[in-house]
Amino acid sequence: MMASGKRLKSGYELIDRNKTYTVDEAAKIIKAAAKAKFDETIEIAVNLGVDPRHADQMVRGSVTMPNGTGKTMRVAVFARDTKADEAKSAGAELVGAEDLADLIQKGEQGFDRVIASPDMMGIVGRLGKVLGPRGLMPNPKLGTVTQDVASAVKTAKAGEVQFRVEKAGVVHAGIGKASFEAEKIAQNAQAFLDALQKSRPAGAKGTYMKKITMSSTMGPGIFIDATQIAG
């Protein structure tokens, strides 16, 4: 704990807590402050001016990081026959139908994304109480319910990040690793913010992005100037 405290203190010495930074500046500071013995995840959190309790203010979407996320994405696919073969060839870790549903019901959690062909949704629907809380229910709007399961698997493994606003109006996501070059961290952060801006719902009034914070797993949070992002 003491070593962790020292790292955090040294990280805070690199920033002015009363200042907001550009994405590029924040990326450089975060990389310099990341001193943990493991490859820290770069995280971004955005406070939005929305009330997700209203359907016309729900924010949800996905974006492929231009430089990947640095995370190995494990994918489970609900499909049969040729679609199942396509999913396996694309690199899915778990593929099946009723058998896969049984595995998940029994506690299997070795996956980060769930994809399904449309004809499998009857089976997947029974897993709502298991997949829902983890934000893993396949959704046509996110491209995770699709006939082209192979492309969906490849997209997930290439560094696609899905996001969804939480009850408090906050969206957060892991967008890279501290081992990335600062320029690549900044590019990923900008891609995420651009996608979030494009997902602005019709019901959002006033300031959309209220506060943007970027940090590494063990590092300090850095405030990014939200006015540089349109809206």
- Domain of residue 139, CATH code: 3.40.50.790
Q: Is residue 204 part of a domain?
A: yes
What total number of domains does the chain contain?
A: 2
Both 165 and 221 in a single domain? yes
Q: Are 136 and 113 in contact (CB under 8 A)?
A: yes
**Domain endpoint, select from 130, 157, 184:** 157
Q: What's the token pair of residue 97?
A: 């139908």
Q: Is residue 38 domain-resident?
A: yes
**For residue 94, which amino acid is it?**
L
Look at residue 216 and tell me if it is in a domain: yes
Closest CA to 116 of 80, 79, 152, 75: 79
Strand ranges, E, within the chain: 41-48, 60-64, 75-78, 94-96, 113-116, 160-164, 170-177, 209-216, 222-224
Claim to verify: residue 79 and residue 153 sit in the same structural domain: yes
Does 152 share its domain with 81?
yes
Task: With respect to residue 192, please indicate whether it lies within any of the assigned structural domains.
Answer: yes
Q: Is 142 inside any structural domain?
A: yes
The answer to whether position 7 is within a domain reads no
Task: Give the separation between CA 51 and CA 100, rounded to whole angstroms.
Answer: 36
Q: What is the pLDDT along the chain (231 residues), one digit of tens a residue?
A: 445 555 555 555 667 777 899 999 999 999 998 888 999 999 999 999 999 999 999 999 999 999 999 999 999 999 999 999 999 999 999 999 999 999 999 999 999 999 999 999 999 999 999 999 988 999 998 899 999 999 999 999 999 999 999 989 999 999 999 999 999 999 999 999 999 999 999 988 899 999 999 999 998 899 999 887 754
Q: Is residue 117 part of a domain?
A: yes
Identify whether residues 151 and 166 lie together within a single domain.
no
Domain-embedded: residue 1: no
Tell me, what CATH number does 47's domain have?
3.30.190.20
Residue 29 domain boundaries: 17-69+160-228
| pTM beyond 0.75, yes or no | yes
